[in-house]
Amino acid sequence: MAFAGLKKQINKANQYVTKKMGSAEGTRLDDDFMEMERKTDVTVELVEELQVKTKEFLQPNPTARAKMAAPEGEGNSVFAKALVEFGEALRQMADLLHHLQMKDLKEVMHHRKKLQGRRLDFDCKRRQKAKYDEIRGAGEKFEESLHLTQMGMFNLLENYTEQVSQLCTFAEALYEFHSQCSYILRGLQETLAKKREEAESRPKPEFVPKSLLDLNLDGMGNDTESSGTPSPIRLPAK
């Protein structure tokens, strides 16, 4: 890093610490901007939470299960290929949210982070009474980032059509998935009901528990009492 760049980062850190300590008042943005930031933070949090829950829902990944469950030498079977295709379809279900998270949200958060850095740099130059050209240059960069950040947050918050469309497609995919699950489970339930009836109709075999005599243990006598019960166990002498 060049010396000028290092000095700039030090100035930003100095301004940040000074502002946090309360001895300097940074450039304050208006209430509308603060409200947009709040709504953007809520949107980011909700999308990330939905993304995490979706990944948890799709785990264990059917593609990985196909590789683990398929017998050796049968990886090219129709069943294995079907599981791979099914896993790919489930992965695509989360791609819509992933696109929103990685493209739109990431771009907005990038502009917000850049805005914070340029605001600190602008405030630092003003506080240190730098040259007019330096203050003006920092102000122009600050204004540029402010514009990009505002437009990014506005487009994100007002782009209801695309976002609702993505959620609708996601919901349709989930509905189709659960419909197929319901069909499979219905067949499984009917099969298990038949198995239960088959198990109930089978006669129970008689069971006679074995005695110690039947186990041919050492120290056991073959004589019995008059009652027909086995004689006491003769323990070996110590």
Task: Give the number of domains in the chain.
Answer: 1
Q: Is residue 131 part of a domain?
A: yes
Q: Is residue 188 part of a domain?
A: no
Full domain range(s) for residue 44: 31-161
Taking the C-alpha atoms of residue 54 and residue 97, their distance in angstroms, rounded to an integer, is 9
Here the CATH number for the domain that contains residue 135 is: 1.20.1270.60
Instruction: Inform me whether the pLDDT recorded for 43 exceeds 90.
Output: no
Q: Is residue 101 part of a domain?
A: yes
Q: Is residue 23 part of a domain?
A: no
Q: What is the mean pLDDT of residues 14-31?
A: 63
- Are 231 and 221 spatial neighbours (Cβ–Cβ below 8 Å)? yes
Residue-level pLDDT at 182: 85
Q: For residue 70, name the pLDDT band (cuts at 50, 70, 90).
A: very low
What proportion of the chain, given as a percentage, has pLDDT over 90?
Answer: 14
Instruction: State the sign of the Cα–Cα–Cα–Cα dihedral 50, 56, 57, 61.
Output: positive
Q: Is residue 167 part of a domain?
A: no
| Residues in CB range of 8: below 8 A, 6 or more apart | 121
Q: List phi, psi (to 5°) of 230.
A: -60, 150
Q: What is the mean pLDDT of residues 22-48?
A: 81
Q: Is residue 225 part of a domain?
A: no
Q: What is the mean pLDDT of residues 27-56?
A: 82
Residue-level pLDDT at 144: 95
